[in-house]
Structure 1
Amino acid sequence: MAKKILMIVGDFVEDYEVMVPFQALQAMGFEVDAVCPDKKAGEQVATAVHDFESQQTYLERPGHNFTLNADFDSVNTGDYAALVVPGGRAPEYLRLNEKVLDMVRDFSDRPVAAVCHGPQLLVAAGMLEGKKVSAYPACAPEVKLAGGEYVEIDLDDAICDGNLVTAPAWPAHPKWLRLLVDRIG
């Protein structure tokens, strides 16, 4: 039986940060369940493409719709070997949902991979105390206020602290996903 990975997403999740890990992990033989509060399997979330041109922060464009393949309300976190938290704007409002935070906390002893703004969910769940964490640089103050050590790394790099795997943005997918898979075993 394939090991299962839970992916928590929401509207305006970053397009590459949901699509690429979802498909890549499946290609590696994992079963990936993508869920969103108040939505069921077969429903979609809107995505956004974040890119960098000449502005001082990222630029946001409409992405593809992403189809969920599992029901949020049916999740039993004990069935999963790991958790993946993509970035984009979704973590900003998902962190206000106590059921989401409870799900995230259930993974405190298992591999958790968060990219870009994904660590915002980990901050809200109280999971970063004493951890070395990378994230989109605008999230650095939140990581520090949560007791984590923000580590500035290249956009195509990722870091690991115990079972926590983090990266600043989607260019880090190759290393970020490799570190996650190594933690899952």
Structure 2
Amino acid sequence: MAKKILLLAGDFVEDYEVMVPFQMLVMAGHRVDAVCPGRKAGDTVKTAVHDFEGDQTYTEKPGHCFALNADFDAIDPAGYDGLVIPGGRAPEYLRLEPKVLEVVRHFAEAEKPIAAICHGAQLLSAARMIEGREISCYPAVAPEVELAGAKYIGPNADYSNAHVDRNFVTAPAWPAHPAWMRAFLELLGTRIET
């Protein structure tokens, strides 16, 4: 059965972490509303491509423009079955928006499936909804996760791992898309034949 999914985006969201989950969830038959505070359906957000090239941290390059298909101001979180929080730069400033944190709290309190990847855990930490949970994220976000009372689950050697703790599906970075989206789809009750 098709589910209605909310995806939180913002300027300089990580390119793969917004586009690939959006496309995968639509391909699986779900309706995905991609929103950004201050933007409306038809507007776009700029993305950034983060890559692992042997430096001490990821590199960042300009990505694409990602089209939003719903109005942030019009959303009612109660009408959604799940939440996707991509990483990149967007969570860094989206966590300053009280309504964004209210949205995250709604999904956490209702125990609806939440998929957060990479820096997306910054929104989980800022919403103060992960105390006592196990959360994966990009290693640079680990201190915030731990300060919010969660146990940090680090990446495996190639960053392809995802972690499930009840309704939370978290992952360290875009190489985890297959495991991360598979686990999120399972929480949504979506059956994918392999």
TM-score, reference length from structure 1: 0.98
| 1:169 corresponding residue in structure 2 | 173
Q: Secondary structure at the match of 1:23?
A: helix
| 1:54 corresponding residue in structure 2 | 54
Matched, 1:2 2:2: yes
- CA distance in 1 between counterparts of 2:169 and 2:162 reads 7
Q: Secondary structure at the match of 1:33?
A: strand
| 1:127 corresponding residue in structure 2 | 129
What are structure 1's unaligned runs of at least 5 residues? none
- CA distance in 2 between counterparts of 1:115 and 1:26 reads 18
- CA distance in 2 between counterparts of 1:54 and 1:181 reads 32
Q: Secondary structure at the match of 1:107?
A: helix
Q: 2:120 aligns with which of 99, 118, 131?
A: 118
Q: Please list the CA deviations of residues 39-90 of structure 1 after superposition, one character each: whole Å capped at 9, or x if unmatched.
A: 0000000000000113110000000000000000010111111000000000
| 1:99 corresponding residue in structure 2 | 99
Q: Tell me how far 1:34 sits from its aligned partner.
A: 0.2
Q: Tell me how far 1:22 sits from its aligned partner.
A: 0.2
Q: Secondary structure at the match of 1:117?
A: helix
| 2:139 corresponding residue in structure 1 | 137
- CA distance in 2 between counterparts of 1:161 and 1:45 reads 30
Root mean square deviation of aligned Cα: 0.8
Moved over 3 A (4+): none
Q: Secondary structure at the match of 1:64?
A: strand
- CA distance in 2 between counterparts of 1:95 and 1:45 reads 17
Q: 1:178 aligns with which of 182, 185, 188?
A: 182
Q: Secondary structure at the match of 1:106?
A: helix
Matched, 1:24 2:58: no
- CA distance in 2 between counterparts of 1:153 and 1:160 reads 13
Q: Which amino acid aligns with 1:163?
A: N
- Identity among equivalent pairs (%): 62
| 2:192 corresponding residue in structure 1 | none
Q: Which amino acid aligns with 2:32?
A: V
TM-score, reference length from structure 2: 0.94
- CA distance in 2 between counterparts of 1:71 and 1:18 reads 17
- CA distance in 1 between counterparts of 2:185 and 2:43 reads 28
Q: Tell me how far 1:2 sits from its aligned partner.
A: 2.5
- After superposition, residues 76-87 of structure 1 pair within 5 angstroms as 76-87=76-87
